[in-house]
Amino acid sequence: MASLHIIDRGDDPHFRIILDVGERAVLQGLPERLETLLLHPDRSPKVIDRLFPPAHHDPDREREHRELIGSTLFEERRESLKAFAATLAIPPDGPLVTLDVDLATINLWLHVVNDFRLLLATELGIEDNDYHERPPEDPDAYESFVLLEHLSSLQYMLLEAVSG
């Protein structure tokens, strides 16, 4: 499991994230999967709606809204994924990878981890926060469930670091 240490809490806080190489490999796979979804939103409309909740109840107004800003939102998400991937491009130091990051990078990680959690939860049919008490009955979904649990723990750790 990743660990996060606060290096400096001053005006420009810095953090150290330590991952084992296996965990880094899992995190490195997230951008590609989300990128594919963003390039082909028609393949998973439920996930797209979860990532980009409707802004209007009226379907016509919502369609207009998405036409106006849809590609911009997708492009911003794709840029975030590229930046996230770049943070993980540091060679390992033995069995561990040490990342020294600033607050902006922690916020980037929070954004990407949350997006992937939403993707997994939607695919697993999870709609509440008590999901950890009800593992999936389908054995094929168990790997996604475990990843969701892991990312939830990572998200909690990141939130704890930024909230002080």
pLDDT above 70: percentage of residues in the chain: 91
- Of how many residues is the chain composed? 164
Quick one: DSSP state of residue 93?
A: B
CA 10, 99, 148, 41: dihedral to nearest 10 degrees? 100
Torsion of CA 61, 63, 64, 67, to 10 degrees: 160
Top pLDDT among 80 and 8 is at 80
Cβ-contact 90, 145 below 8 angstroms? no
Of the given ranges (6-10, 30-34, 136-140), which has the lowest mean pLDDT?
6-10
Residue 116 is predicted with a pLDDT of 96
**Given this model, what pLDDT does residue 9 score?**
67
Per-residue model confidence (pLDDT) at position 131: 64
Q: For residue 57, is pLDDT > 70?
A: yes
